[in-house]
Amino acid sequence: MTTILSSNLGYPRIGKNREWKRAIEAYWQGDITEKTLKEQTQKLRLQNLQKQKEQGIDLIPVGDFSLYDHVLDTAVSFNIIPKRFQDHNPAELSTYFAIARGGEKDAVAAEMTKWFNTNYHYIVPELNDTKPKLLENRALYYYQEAKEELGIDGKPVIIGPVTFVKLAKGYEETELEAWVDRLLPLYEQILSELAEAGASWVQIDEPVLGTNLSEKELKLVEKVYQNFDNKISGIQLILQTYFETVQHYQRIIKLPVDGFGLDFVHGDHLSLIQKYGFPADKVLGAGIINGRNVWRANLENKFQLLADIEEAANPKTIIVQGSSSLVHVPVTKNTEEKLDTVVKDGLSFADEKLTEIKVLTTALKEGQESVSDAFTASVHAIERLDQSDYRNQTVEATAENIKREVPFEQRKKRQQAHLNLPLLPTTTIGSLPQTLEVKRTRTKWRKGELTDDQYNQFVQSETRKWIQIQEDLELDVLVHGEFERTDMVEYFGEKLKGFAVTEFGWVQSYGSRCVKPPLLAGNVEWEHPITVKEIAYAQSLTDKPVKGMLTGPVTILNWSFVHEELPRFTVQDQIGLALEKEVLALEDAGVSIIQVDEPALREGLPLDRLKWPAYFDAAVRAFRLATSTVKPETQIHTHMCYSEFGEIYEAIDGLDADVISIETSRSHGEMVETFEINDYKKDIGLGVYDIHSPRVPSIEELEANINRALETIDVEQFWINPDCGLKTRKEPETIAALKKMVEAAKLTREKYISINQK
């Protein structure tokens, strides 16, 4: 008879009221000591564990908690400290945060990029010039803490060695196996110590198994887990995958581990099990509750899926769980008092997902009748949303007007004649620092403590101040600052029909930075101008061009919680058509440069490369729907984050934007190298300094970044800008950094003008 258990793969770190964020930032600002930080975060961590215990979850994850990022945690515990920080004490918390945020002088922060195809950012380990050793068995510490403090026999969570090394940098491709071999003894020590401490289960996360591994890499995976089987005893290893269908399923399920966790939401694993079977002596972790989305599960459908899985696999134990860690969703919907009840009833955040897991576990053990009320409630909530005004008639995108009428070479001449920009024009990406005063004023307005007129006057005063600052800095293309906006996607979610927004639906993006993705509940339509008033006002204050700032359709889709019943590419086209109306409204208001940001373009890529062409086609189509009907003189910009340019070159070129800016400061050299094999013709700005770090770069550092780019990119193509928006930075450091950036641009410009005059 099959044993039925419930499990969770990971829980949000941030706390219901973002207590985690506030504690960490208070420590950075010197308002609390390290001791207080550790006390406050331990309290939150134990509350999270207790909540899962009270929900009746059988296998509760421990070690999923972090003070910044779990990949960074793993790297530091292995003594993988970047060379520029090796004079620091690796055991000190200041070293940990310096790697993530940057240190003094030339100690720039480590590169940060997206965790597979999510909006969570991890710190990229740098393996070169390091000597791995186990400084701390974090998994053991958290296991013992849960056991001693709460009586929980937790399930330690660790990143698998192949995934960890594949996500790292600082080694040649031929050195992959050698680096995994160096780390294996450390993993063996971690697992042996956990077994000795009495841990029953360990979750080893290997999401890299959902990517297209080579034969050599597959053999390395087999070697690693055979090694664990030979050397580790007394503990059950669950090889956990998520985000995609496991590639090479038949080989993976032969690995000598005790169980496999499979994603049945984003992966077609049921078909694979039905076709190839499942080992009868193994545990099957059935990830059937969506760990990456917030919409309520249809429990009847999920129960039928579980029944089909159990029948096809017939495992000795089946574990009901989420498809991935719940770190990608907010904590609870109980605090949402202003949401439309139809939408709220249709939601399931982390706490509600734990309930869904427990209900389905009970149904599988005791029969559906034992939890029939919960099943009925889920079906009714989904039906009410489906019949609501959010699901009006679909807005179809036409095939017309998805190509600029004039080719880029001709557009560039007309735009230059219109804009009269200098060589190496300087600009920023869009947002400017949102001070505590800005945030408090917005909160007062939302609470009704300020009138609309009072709030608008405040936003205009901030805009005036920063237009003057930008003019004083002698930037060439200005921005209005986005002081009226909370978040680049949430803001548009508030204005476009088809969306709803939460008050407290925060999720971690990077470090202490949290975002509130809007809820895309139905079909999308533009109803009225969204950004025109603020940008037109800013333009009225200066003779220099002010960029119109919009978030693109691909990013709005990827950074929203899209209802699973909505066809994603159709909705993406709807967003593109809605943004086209906004683009044309800006153009009619006299705005000559319009930036349609797509920082999430690469992030949304399926892990399986065979699915890339369809994704790229849809992304290019939606962007062109938004931008292709402007005049040739109107300059279209876009911005992207952490894009491995070589892999997405054709798609970026296909967008046909006049200027792209790419966030590259933490990997500037690697990005520039891609242009040595790609002959990109349009204008481009590679971020010349890192805005995610509070450090102010030197002029020499900025010049070096500019000159490195100009070795490959023509000086007539290159723009100079920070690598991302400046919203999270403080005013003094922002002004100081931009001042140096403009000075570096002037020095470089003078050099090239001088060369041309000779």
Q: Indicate the annotated binding residues.
A: 18-21, 114, 119, 429-431, 482, 513-514, 559, 597, 603, 639, 641, 663, 724
Q: Nearest to residue 166, comparing CAs of 110, 227, 111, 217?
A: 217
The annotation places the binding site for L-homocysteine at 429-431, 482, 597
End-to-end CA distance of the chain, in Å? 86
Q: Which of 328, 563, 668, 692 is catalytic?
A: 692
Distance between CA atoms of 142 and 155, rounded to whole angstroms? 10
Q: 607, 489, 608, 588: which is closest to 539 by C-alpha? A: 588
Q: How many residues does the chain have?
A: 758
What is d(CA 356, CA 346) in angstroms, rounded to the nearest whole number?
Answer: 13
- The single residue listed with the structure tokens 């219109």 is 418
Per the annotation, where are the binding residues for Zn(2+)? Answer: 639, 641, 663, 724
**Token representation of residue 43:** 């309290």
Cα separation values, 237 from 191, 203, 213, 284, 686, Å = 9, 6, 22, 12, 44
Q: Is 563 a catalytic residue?
A: no
| Amino acid letter, residue 427 | T
The sign of the dihedral angle between the CA atoms of 517, 518, 519, 520 is negative
Could you give the residue ranges of the DSSP H alpha helices within 232-339? 249-252, 269-276, 299-313
* Contact partners, residue 239, CB within 8 Å, separation at least 6: 160, 204, 206, 209, 225, 252, 255, 257, 259, 260, 261
> Structure tokens of 681?
């013709």
CA 390 to chain centre: 26
Q: Which amino acid is at 642?
A: Y
Please give the Cα distance from 70 to 65 (Å, whole number): 7
Numbered residues of the known binding site for 5-methyltetrahydropteroyltri-L-glutamate: 18-21, 114, 119, 513-514, 559, 603
Can you tell me the distance from the alpha carbon of 451 to that of 28, in angstroms, rounded to the nearest whole number?
Answer: 35
| CA distance linking residue 141 with residue 161, whole number of Å | 20
Binding residues for L-methionine, by number, are 429-431, 482, 597
DSSP class per residue in 100-144: HH--STT-PPPPEEESTTSS-EEEPPB-TT-----S--HHHHHHH
Instruction: Please state, in angstroms and rounded to a whole number, the distance separating the CA atoms of residues 380 and 360.
Output: 17
Catalytic residues: 692
